[in-house]
Each structure stands twice: as structure tokens, then as C-alpha cells.
Structure 1
Amino acid sequence: ISAEGWKLVDRAPVRFIRHGRITPIPEPRRGGSWKNVIELLRLSDHESIILTLSWMLQAVWPHGPYVHLVLEGEQGSGKSMLAQMLKLITDPSDHLLRRPPRDEEDLFVAARNERILSFDNLSGIQDWLSDALCCFSTGATYSKRQKYTDWEEAAISVRRPCILNGIEAIPSRPDLLDRTIVINLKPISVEHRRSEAGLLQAVEAYLPEIWCLLADAASAGLRNRDRVQKELHGRLPRMADFAIWISACEEVMPWSRGEFLDVYTKNRTAGLSVLIESDILASAVVDLVHQEALKERCFEGTATLLYEELTQVAGVDRSRPPKGWPANPNWMMRRLKRMAPALRAHGVDIEDLRDEKGAKMIRISLNALISKQSSPSTSSIFVDIKNDSTERHDRHDRHFTSKVLKSGGLGSARVLKTDFEGKMSIMSQNVDGDSDFDVAKCRQMSPDSDLSKSASGAPVEGRGGDGGGAGGAGCGSPGDGGGDATSTEPASLNDRISELMRRGDLSELDMRIIECLKNRAAHGAPAFELSQKLGASPAVVMESLKKLAAFVLVQNRGRDPKESFDGDHWVLRPT
């Protein structure tokens, strides 16, 4: 196989060694199609097709590093059957499935005798097996003293892609999860069930055509690898070599160019999110950093203090700690070091610091990645709050605050300037969130004013003003000689809510928060209490509250000294 294509030769330039019970690869035959392969494998959704066929391309990639394939789903979803078919295609053998070995030595011996190991019906992955599979992905050597010698050593070096299937086959450690593709299979209905022998015979009969397709893909990979490596520079995921190889083969694959990287990144992110949610310590870290964010700060302290805080947040009884909870701060730090990449992808940064005396400190804070990942249900996401010292009013020494609300997935933003009296200036609407804004192009609004003259969300335009000109995009306040800027003033809070709902600016979570605050009347509620009542994360609820405040629907009335929780209380704005 070369960049120009592939051909059959009588004398190979390399020697082949056949170990164990490996059977010959069929002679490739033209005339096949990926559509027929997809039908044989019974893959339904588009993402599973891309990920499964991408994993298959590793059969014609001799170097690695390799990504493992995890097939999970309930019983009756065809996990073992799909594993057998993939093993038969990529590494024909007399036995297509095996049980996991008892120790590392048996695992390396098995890897020496097979190109691809397919483990069946896993109920969890032990720590030693997880570490070994990580080594299989990137390459490792197992060695021991050779028998009947004093100083000689026997060694096995392997680098292998593996298949793992089972109801509980998803890795529980982030280092292995980063090296896997997870396919969630749906149950097979009665009318679509077929016999195992019939499926394997159909795949075996089509093997020559499949290997022709794999050889064509390998040739395209060799041809495009250097170009793709340059194109993907700066946006490669972990397992970058695998991503480059599959992207280079996309030219002959049944999906659009560039689609694999998006699907692969999405699959990795979803796996890490599930891992965070299922780990009691990682979940406690996320809850703690969100609580700190509500108080506009981050956690910073010693490992002992962090252990105390996490124990309290998770509600752990120290006399009877749950399974998976670290026994002391030292074990906690080891676990956090292992979970740090997954937490970072989930929006949480963990940093090691030193105080003035050189003592070790830990800082845990939210990072910028949570802006779009944390709230798929809300239509707008709070991005940034910062003090703008350039907007200081000299006479009253007022500080203005920039509030940016970016619409999720639409690439637009509504930017509002707010002073401490609650007056608002709409600077721009439906503009790119990364653009610079001209403070002069705004109009002053009272808290009861509507956000826009246009119900469609078009930018507000006015007359006159300093430099605004007739019909210009900028508009001055009435006292600036810019004429009067037309605005609509709904009669009540309900009218404002109805107008925003009609324009699609309020999400379901926004409306649930408003209903909760209506029930609490003037007492209000802290954001953390609302998050517990609504079953949403504190950060998401806080983003929604700040959006509602920008829409002049709610306000923060400050802390309540009678409450044990020291968070601010949010109430509905009076009519």
C-alpha cells in the first residue's frame, strides 16, 4: 500500500510471523461499498457509523498510537455480536472473543498472539487493567527474568487497539477514557434479530471487498497525512496521531471532510462529563467551585482545608464514608491529580500554589470553557462581568459594569451598561460577541423601560445626538440634543415577561426561576437554594439570574443576616 494506491505482490519486502490461532487475511477484491459494510454491522445513527469505521481504519495503520473501542448498552443490544464482527474484519482469528486475563503477564502474552484483543462481557475495569490498556494504546514493554538463566531477560513489546464490551464497560479513570471511543448501542427489536452464524457468514463472505475499502483508505491516508497535519495544527485533541490519520483517510470515507474531528471531540467530551457525574469526589469539586462562584470568589487553601470543604459539600459521614471517598487529604490529592484533565474539560481548573512561607496551597476556580457547555437549556449565557474604570462619572464617582449576554450557538450578543442606580444603556444588539462597542452609541433606559423598540431584536436606532446624525445608528439621550428616543413601557412585570417570551428571550429555566421568586415574594431566595429546588447546577442558575437582571425582571436585594447561608437574595423587581 502506497500513496499512489495498492497492489498484490508475489514477494513481500517484509517477513510475516503468524502467532497463535490467527487466520489469513483475504485477498482484497474491488466492487464493495461502505454502505454495505454499514448494513452488515447494523449501525444506525450517523455518529456511531463515523466512530466505528474510524476505529476499523486502525487495522491498516501499523504504527499507532491506537484508540480502544468500548461497546456499551443494555442486554440485547448486540454488543458481543458487533465485537465479533469487528474482530473478524480487522484481525481474523479462530476465537473472536475472550475474557479479561488475571494479570499483566497473561495480558501481554495474549497481545503477542493477536493483533486485536476483544474482551467480552466486562463488569467494570480494574485499575491494573486500566493502566495496562493505556500502555497498549501508546506502546509498552513487559519484561521478566528468562527461565533457567540468571541475567537474561525475556521481553514483549506491544502496541494494540482493543475492543471492550459490557453493560459496565465504560472506563472509570480519565486517562483510559481519553484513549477510547464509546459507542452506546440501542436494543435490537424482535423483528430485526438475526442468527449469529448468519451474520458472521455474511461478514466473512464480504471480507475481500471490505479489505479493498480499507486498503483504499490507507492509501488516501498516506497521500494526505502531511497536508492534514498542517491543517489541524493548533486544534488537535489528545491522541493527535489517531485524529490526523483518520482525517487523512476521510477522502474516501462515507462522511464529509472534517466531520470526524467534530464527532470524535463530542464523544470524548460526553464521556468525560459522564465520568465527572459518576465520581463522588469530582462531583463534590464541581459543586464546591460553583458555590464559590456564587460568592464571586474561588477556593484557595491547603489540602486539609479542601478535604474538609469537600466532605461538607458532599454530605459525607466521616464515621461511615461511602465507597470511592478518599480516606485522607493525601489520597484526595492523588485522585484530583488524576481527575484534573477531566475537570478542566468540565470547566474547573485546579492549580498548585505556594504561599509566602512556601507552604503548598490549592486553588480551584471556574475556567472559560463553561460558557457554552454548562447550560444547554438556557437561551442566553452569562459570559463576563468586569469593572470598567474608564466609564467613571467624575461628579458622583460611579463605576459602571459591563454585562455581556451571549446567545448560545447564535454568535450574537446583547451588551448592557448598568450603573448602581439601575439605569441601563443598550449599546448594541445582534452583534458579534467579540466586537468592540462604542459607548456613545447608546440610549439611557429606566428599569421599567422595554429592552428594545423592535420586537424582532433589531438594533435600536434614534435621531440626532452628538455625532449620531439623522437616521444614524447612535442615539443620544433626550437631554443631549439628540431628540427623544422612542421606547415602550409595559404597565407591569407580567407585561415585560410576556413581551420577552414572545420574542423568545426567556428559556424554560428562566420561567421556573421567576415562578419560584413569585412564591417567595419580598423574601426572595439565594441562587444556591434555587438551584437545589430546580435541580440545576448553581452556575447555570446564577447565569440565568444575571440574564433576568439585565432584562430588568429580578434584582439582588443583598444578604439576609437571619439566613445561615451567606449568599445574596434575589427577588422580582417591583411593578
Structure 2
Amino acid sequence: MPEDEKTPGREVITDYAQAHFRYFRTADGTVYAQRNGHPVARPIRSQGTTGSHRQELMVGLFRDGHGVFNGTALKEALDLIEALALTTEVQAVHIRVAPGFDGATWLDLGRTDGQSVRIHPTGWDILTPDPREVCWRRTQLTGELPMPAKGTNGKGIDLLLRLNNFATAETECLAIAWLIGCLGPSVPVPAPFLTGPQGAGKSTSGRMLTRVIEGMSADLRRPPKDEESLTAAVAAGWITALDNLSHLGPDLSDLMCCIVTGAETLKRALFTDGDVYRARYRRPLLMTGIDVGVIRPDLAERLLPLRLERPTVRRTEAELWREFEEVLPVILGSLLDLTVQVRAAQTDIPTDLRMADFAHLCAQLDAATGLGALNAYRATLDDLNDDVIEGDLLAQTVLQHAATLDPGAVVRMTSAEWLHALTRLYSGEDCRPLPKGWPTTGKVLSDRLKRLQPTLSARGVVIEWGRTKTARYIELDCPTPPSPDQQAAF
């Protein structure tokens, strides 16, 4: 064939790609390729080790007898495909868990054939999702799950709890509630913090809870050194599990709050001057550790302490994980059965808790099983409030001041007047030195009180801010007197 009659390579590649793949864009403008009839999508610009679209396109062209093409032809073809895809409809891609049609949700089993679990109001099934309903994104953190077992009669839940060293039945039901919450793509769940003495199996339990959802390849990670490292890990997987935390600085604490309830990060796009890359994330978070020191109030409302105890009989790692892997299909099947029952339960939504969605899930779990998860959740939040107060001398001083007031008394002062009064109360007659971090100005005091407002409100001390014609003020209202135990603590 004369040279001028040959079809250019870029046209051959473009025609083949459009015949065998579906191309679409996400809300942030990233273009994805999805093989016809298969739910897994890959970004066309990805060079990842999990298999890029460029690689699968080259392999398909070679196996179908179209030959091998040079990099220039591939680049020109992908440039054109990307430009054409920018005019298509927007569709989201999901990692591990996704919303579906008619109130259903999907769980990606991480299989090469794309088979997934569809959880719907009347049960769950194993299907290959319609690519226009669900698009999965896979990364190196996407492990494969076994086929869940049908007809387990709930015995998988008992098997999972038997393999862990949870201290109380209340802790067990909260762990199950968290796993059910992880199967919801749009429900934020508090972050379990597995605590206990040395040798209680905190890391082992953390791995087990994570692997129920993420597969046997999932593992715990060391706390990241900076925000960028953590957000990269969060974006690449579903559950982010951090091991052996011993300290939570202000920056890491704020970032964890964002992970639990959702946030967005912006970075400058590579090789550009004015374009940006936008990443949204909200993921289940899990942590282990003996103690992390002082907990900030905003993070305390997003935590779920799960206490473990030291086992009386030790088992080898090989024996423990061999048994867990054998029963994982039964555990997953029982968890899916229970999830269907919980979602079908009709209950009122608790409106007094910060994580109202998870509180509602606990109430549904109680309606389905009678475990008492909601009361257990309230008790853990109450314990966390105590931890926050014990670690904050300003909160203790405010409660000490409230204890001197008559029931129903209202005190209104400016922030500077409050700072003087609380400082004088803390120093006492012996003029003890102020601790490090004590507020130095009225503005700093006001900001600290805003952080402590939910914690103090849980102890019957209501703080409000207002303004008169001449100045702003802070008002303290003590509608119910502190209990004798609280007064004795200070």
C-alpha cells in the first residue's frame, strides 16, 4: 500500500479506543476510561502501577492484531480522546463503597471480573454493576475481598468478636455499628480509637476491623509527617487506619476532623501556573494507641473509643490470621445481612448529638437487635467530655466558677473581664503561676471558650456571645447546678 494511503496511527488508536472503551469526566475535570461492560475505570493520564489506561490500550491493540504504535501516536490519540471527553456528562468514580440506583449501595470486592455486592432494601446480591450506575476506581490500596457467604444466621459477627479482646459488650456493639457505617457511602462515622494496656491486641483488632472491609492486604500505617502525606493516603483508599498514636498535635487533630466529616483540598496542578487540582474526601478513620494526651473538643465529638483488655490465652500470629482468613467470608456475609436489617429499621433521629447520622445508625441497630448501641455511644461521648475537661485547665476553672453560682444565675461580662475573673480564680490567694497556654487576651479567651462550648454545655454550663450598643459580651448561664461529683473534682 502506498505510504500516503496508510491510515495514520493516531486514527487507528482513536477508532479502536472509542469502539472498546467508554470515556467520561468527573466533576474535577479528570477524564476516565472504562472498558465496555466493565465497572472499573482508570484515569487516561495515569501512570500507576495498578495498570494504566495507556497500558491496557497498547495491549488491546497488539492482541487484536493492530500492531505496536509509537509514543507519539498514542499521545496524539489520547490528547484527542481527552478533549472529546470533556464535553461528555459528568459521572463520579468511587473507591470501595458507592451509592446506586433506587436506594441501593455497592461494595467493591476488588475482583478482576468486577463482581460487587449490591445492598438493597430487601437484601444483598453479588452482581457486576452497570457501568453507568457505578464506576470503581482501583489503587494499590484496593485489596480483594472474598465472596461473602449467604445464610450465615449471624454467626459471623460472633466469630469476629471472639477473635478480638473488646473489654465490654457495649464496646462490641459500637465496633459492629462502625463496620455497618463503613458500608454507607454518604454517612460520616466517628473514628474508632482502640485503646487499652500493652498487649491488649490493639493493632491486631485494628487490622481485623479494617480487613473486614478492605481485604487481607490492608494494614495499619504510621502517622504521617505532614498534611500532604495523609491526604494522599486518604484519597487512595477507603479506610485510613493509623497505628500506635502517642500524640495528636493541633494540625493533625484538625485534619482528622476534616477526614471524618469531609473536606476539600486544593493544590496547584503540575506543570501549570494558574490551574488547580481539587480533591474532596470523607473517609472512615481508625486509630490505635495507649494514650494520645490532651484531646481537643472538636475531635472528641468525632471519636469512638473502643477499649480492649489483655487476653488470658495467647495465640500465634499465624494461627490467628489463618483462622480469620478462613472465616472472613462468613463474617462479611453476616455483616451484610445485619446491614440490611439495620437499614430497614424505622427509628427517630437523635438530634442532640454532633454525629447525628451515626447516632441514628446506632438507634436502628438497637431496633434491629436490642444491643443498646445508642446508650453506649452516649456513654463514650460523656467519657470523652471528661477527658477534655481533665486536660484543659481553663475548662476546669469555668466549671469551678459555675459551681459558685446559684441555679439559674446568668453572668454577663466582657471578654477582658472574664479573663481577669478566671485568672484570679485560678491563681487563688497563693497567686500560683499561670500554666503554659493560658489565655493572655480577651480575644484568645473568647476563641478558647468557643472550642469548649459543646463540652461545657454537656456539663450544664451554657456560654453565649452577644453585643450591646457599646460593647460585646460573653454570657454564662448555669441552668442546672453541677453535680456533687463534678464540684468535688475541682
Q: TM-score, normalised by structure 2?
A: 0.69
Cα distance change, pair 157–123 in 1 and its aligned pair in 2 (3 A): same
- Which letter maps to 2:344? R
Q: What is the CA–CA distance in structure 2 between the aligned matches of 1:9 and 1:90, rounded to whole Å?
A: 18
The 3-state SS of whatever aligns with 1:367 is: coil
**Residue in 1 aligned with 2:478?**
366
Q: What is the aligned counterpart of 1:198 among 304, 319, 326?
A: 319
Deviation for aligned residue 1:23: 1.2
The 3-state SS of whatever aligns with 1:192 is: coil
Deviation for aligned residue 1:73: 2.3
**Residue in 2 aligned with 1:247?**
363
Cα distance change, pair 68–346 in 1 and its aligned pair in 2 (3 A): same
Equivalent pair of 2:177/2:361 in contact (CA under 8 Å): no
CA offsets 1:48-72 (integer angstroms, 9 cap, x no match):
1111111111231111222111112
Q: What is the CA–CA distance in structure 2 between the aligned matches of 1:50 and 1:376, rounded to whole Å?
A: 29
CA offsets 1:334-386 (integer angstroms, 9 cap, x no match):
1111110110011111122334x421122223133x57xx2469xxxxxxxxx
Deviation for aligned residue 1:298: 4.4
**Residue in 1 aligned with 2:422?**
310
Q: What is the CA–CA distance in structure 2 between the aligned matches of 1:26 and 1:331, rounded to whole Å?
A: 53
- Which letter maps to 2:143? T
Equivalent pair of 1:222/1:248 in contact (CA under 8 Å): yes
The 3-state SS of whatever aligns with 2:477 is: strand
**Residue in 1 aligned with 2:460?**
347
Equivalent pair of 1:71/1:182 in contact (CA under 8 Å): yes
Q: What is the CA–CA distance in structure 2 between the aligned matches of 1:147 and 1:537, rounded to whole Å?
A: 55
- Which letter maps to 2:418? L
**Residue in 2 aligned with 1:438?**
none
CA offsets 1:247-301 (integer angstroms, 9 cap, x no match):
3344554x44xx222211121122112211221110011001112339x854332
Cα distance change, pair 50–142 in 1 and its aligned pair in 2 (3 A): same
Question: What are the equivalent positions in structure 2 for 1:339-488 lying under 5 Å apart?
Answer: 339-355=452-468, 357-368=469-480, 370=481, 374-375=483-484
- Which letter maps to 1:290? A
Q: What is the CA–CA distance in structure 2 between the aligned matches of 1:144 and 1:93, rounded to whole Å?
A: 33
**Residue in 2 aligned with 1:326?**
439
**Residue in 2 aligned with 1:216?**
337
Cα distance change, pair 171–86 in 1 and its aligned pair in 2 (3 A): farther
**Residue in 1 aligned with 2:381?**
268
- Which letter maps to 1:20? Q
**Residue in 2 aligned with 1:131?**
254
- Which letter maps to 2:251? W
Q: What is the aligned counterpart of 1:7 among 125, 145, 148?
A: 125
Q: What is the CA–CA distance in structure 2 between the aligned matches of 1:149 and 1:93, rounded to whole Å?
A: 39
Deviation for aligned residue 1:318: 8.5
Equivalent pair of 1:2/1:222 in contact (CA under 8 Å): no
Deviation for aligned residue 1:11: 4.7
Q: What is the aligned counterpart of 2:307 among 155, 180, 184?
A: 184
Equivalent pair of 2:171/2:376 in contact (CA under 8 Å): no
Structure 2, unmatched stretches of 5+, are 1-118
Cα distance change, pair 314–51 in 1 and its aligned pair in 2 (3 A): same
**Residue in 2 aligned with 1:488?**
none
Bigger drift between 10-19 and 328-337 goes to 10-19
Q: Which has the higher contact order (CA 8 A, sep 6+)?
A: 2
Measured on the aligned residues, the alpha-carbon RMSD in Å equals 2.5
Q: What is the CA–CA distance in structure 1 between the aligned matches of 2:192 and 2:249, rounded to whole Å?
A: 17
Q: What is the aligned counterpart of 1:110 among 220, 223, 233?
A: 233
Cα distance change, pair 37–319 in 1 and its aligned pair in 2 (3 A): closer
CA offsets 1:466-500 (integer angstroms, 9 cap, x no match):
xxxxxxxxxxxxxxxxxxxxxxxxxxxxxxxxxxx
Equivalent pair of 1:26/1:208 in contact (CA under 8 Å): yes
Equivalent pair of 2:353/2:359 in contact (CA under 8 Å): yes
1:144 partnered with 2:264: no
Q: What is the CA–CA distance in structure 1 between the aligned matches of 2:328 and 2:383, rounded to whole Å?
A: 33
1:19 partnered with 2:139: yes
Q: State the aligned residue count.
A: 366
Deviation for aligned residue 1:170: 6.4
Q: What is the aligned counterpart of 1:232 among 339, 349, 366?
A: 349
The 3-state SS of whatever aligns with 1:206 is: helix
Question: What are the equivalent positions in structure 2 for 1:278-289 lying under 5 Å apart?
Answer: 278-289=391-402
Equivalent pair of 1:72/1:170 in contact (CA under 8 Å): no
Deviation for aligned residue 1:328: 2.4
- Which letter maps to 1:303? S
Cα distance change, pair 41–537 in 1 and its aligned pair in 2 (3 A): closer
Q: What is the CA–CA distance in structure 1 between the aligned matches of 2:207 and 2:198, rounded to whole Å?
A: 16
Q: What is the CA–CA distance in structure 2 between the aligned matches of 1:291 and 1:60, rounded to whole Å?
A: 48
Deviation for aligned residue 1:307: 1.0
CA offsets 1:65-106 (integer angstroms, 9 cap, x no match):
221111122322222221111112122253511111122211
Cα distance change, pair 154–318 in 1 and its aligned pair in 2 (3 A): farther
- Which protein is bigger by CA-based radius of gyration? 1
The 3-state SS of whatever aligns with 2:254 is: helix
Cα distance change, pair 185–148 in 1 and its aligned pair in 2 (3 A): same
**Residue in 2 aligned with 1:75?**
198
Q: What is the CA–CA distance in structure 2 between the aligned matches of 1:143 and 1:183, rounded to whole Å?
A: 34
Residue identity over aligned pairs, in percent, reads 30
Q: What is the CA–CA distance in structure 2 between the aligned matches of 1:269 and 1:78, rounded to whole Å?
A: 25
Deviation for aligned residue 1:6: 0.8
Equivalent pair of 2:397/2:422 in contact (CA under 8 Å): yes
CA offsets 1:519-551 (integer angstroms, 9 cap, x no match):
xxxxxxxxxxxx7xxxx258xxxxxxxxxxxxx
Deviation for aligned residue 1:217: 2.3
**Residue in 1 aligned with 2:208?**
85
Q: What is the CA–CA distance in structure 2 between the aligned matches of 1:315 and 1:93, rounded to whole Å?
A: 55
Q: What is the CA–CA distance in structure 1 between the aligned matches of 2:422 and 2:216, rounded to whole Å?
A: 50
Structure 1, unmatched stretches of 5+, are 378-530, 539-575
Q: What is the CA–CA distance in structure 2 between the aligned matches of 1:329 and 1:74, rounded to whole Å?
A: 41
Q: What is the aligned counterpart of 1:64 among 164, 187, 194?
A: 187
Equivalent pair of 1:81/1:196 in contact (CA under 8 Å): no
Cα distance change, pair 170–79 in 1 and its aligned pair in 2 (3 A): farther
1:29 partnered with 2:149: yes
- Which letter maps to 2:392? D
Q: What is the CA–CA distance in structure 2 between the aligned matches of 1:114 and 1:142, rounded to whole Å?
A: 16
The 3-state SS of whatever aligns with 1:271 is: helix
1:94 partnered with 2:217: yes
Bigger drift between 88-97 and 329-338 goes to 88-97
The 3-state SS of whatever aligns with 2:270 is: coil
- Which letter maps to 1:71? L
Q: What is the CA–CA distance in structure 2 between the aligned matches of 1:215 and 1:344, rounded to whole Å?
A: 38
- Which letter maps to 1:362? I
CA offsets 1:128-167 (integer angstroms, 9 cap, x no match):
1111111111211111111101222212211111111112
The 3-state SS of whatever aligns with 2:304 is: strand
